[in-house]
Amino acid sequence: MTDTSQLLPITLDGLPRDQLADWMSTMVLIREFEESLDPLVLSGKIPGGVHLASGQEAVAVGASRALAPTDVVTTAHRPHHHALAGGLSPSRVMAELWGRATGTSGGRGGTMHLADYERGYFPGNAIVGANVGIAMGAALAARLAGREQVACAFFGDGATNTGRTWESVNMAATWKLPLIAVCENNMYAVETFIGNVSGAGTPSERAQAFGVSAERIDGQDVGAVYRAVRDARERALAGDGPTFIEALTYRYHGHSTGEDPAYRPSGEAEEWRSTKDPLERLRLALAAQDLLDEEGYDRLLAAAAETVAEAIRFAEDSPLPDPTRAAEGVYGATVAVRGNLL
């Protein structure tokens, strides 16, 4: 059994107790799914690399449970935990990573372009901070259409050093748009520690300069994330504009497949695991309230392992996309260029 003596406690106050077992199940599933991917990439079964979110499960689950099914979510290059927390099928997500026709984007988007528009889950992209602008656009559309809807953008601390992020936050603040900007501050933009590239203040402190409600929370506490996003959604729908949430979290693996995280201080990852692991902290809190015992937790682990194993089987058995249909669903614009570029 895992040593829980060093874990920082969390409180379940204000949380929907009848839903917490599902929260735990989803977080366990995300961890199992993420941990399965690197071996699949290194064996060549998943083309390219992936960006894992092991350790960041509480941000995705806490936020998704505070949103409504009609809300819009945008994400970036580390998207699997958001997709699974948002209800996308593990099998279809896995098939997309394998480049198979049964994937969420027909096998043409891969890890970075998972999508389910019916669930309000917009595809990610490789442009750092760009999805904040996409979410701002969705928030503007909701306002113009008179919909009771918010848009939630997930992005990393690296995106807080790009102009497009703050331009989007500023426009949302100016027009009081229903935008929730969730910065998953795992402290490292690829290999660069945020403290080495930020001139002044934390991301949430910098956000305050744009006149938005901003706060820094414990991103390893699923309850803290849920409360922050729930309150942000209420403010947005009341017409009080956007909220910037800086969730302090940690990725246990490198930035992407095969990376040696030697740039991080020795023992740092182990300290986060032993004191702030989001799964263990929720498990301990549930056990203290007699909401989950050790046998129940073991059943969740077994169920997650089987779900991921089935997702891998589904992906492996699925066909590759038909190349003759590659242009279906792809749109372009005719551009008239003056002069001869050759």
User: Quick one: which of 132, 255, 251 has its CA closest to 203?
Assistant: 132
- 157 with 165: CB under 8 angstroms? no
Instruction: Express each pLDDT in 213-248 by its tens digit.
Output: 999 999 999 999 999 999 999 999 999 999 999 999
pLDDT given for residue 330 in this prediction: 72
pTM (2 decimals)?
0.94
pLDDT band at 340 (very low <50, low <70, confident <90, very high): very low
- 164 with 132: CB under 8 angstroms? yes
pLDDT band at 5 (very low <50, low <70, confident <90, very high): confident
Domains annotated for the chain, with CATH where assigned, are 17-325 (3.40.50.970)
User: Quick one: which of 241, 282, 311 has its CA closest to 90?
Assistant: 311
Query: Looking at this protein, which amino acid is placed at residue 140?
Result: L
pLDDT given for residue 4 in this prediction: 78
In whole angstroms, give the CA distance from residue 225 to residue 217: 7
Instruction: Express each pLDDT in 179-222 by its tens digit.
Output: 999 999 999 999 999 999 888 899 999 999 999 999 999 999 99
In whole angstroms, give the CA distance from residue 240 to residue 237: 7
Q: For the chain, give the mean pLDDT.
A: 94
pLDDT given for residue 45 in this prediction: 97
Instruction: Express each pLDDT in 33-79 by its tens digit.
Output: 999 999 999 999 999 999 999 999 999 999 999 999 999 999 999 99
Residue 329 pLDDT more than 90? no
* DSSP structure class, residue 320: P
Instruction: Express each pLDDT in 264-291 by its tens digit.
Output: 999 999 999 999 999 999 999 999 999 9
Starting at the edge strand that comes first in sequence, how are the strands of the sheet with 72-74 ordered?
72-74, 151-156, 179-185, 243-248, 213-218
pLDDT given for residue 339 in this prediction: 53
Q: Which long-range contacts (CB under 8 A, 24 or more apart) does 85-90 make?
A: 85/26, 85/30, 85/57, 85/60, 85/61, 86/60, 86/116, 86/119, 86/120, 86/121, 87/119, 88/114, 88/116, 88/119, 88/121, 90/29, 90/33, 90/307, 90/308, 90/310, 90/311
216 Rama class: left (phi>0) / alpha (psi -120 to 50) / beta: beta
pLDDT given for residue 325 in this prediction: 85
| CB crowding 60-76: b at 16 or more within 10 Å, else e | bbbbbbbbeeebbbbbb
**Which of the two residues, 108 and 335, has the higher pLDDT score?**
108
- 55 with 174: CB under 8 angstroms? no
Residue 161 pLDDT more than 70? yes
In whole angstroms, give the CA distance from residue 96 to residue 107: 5
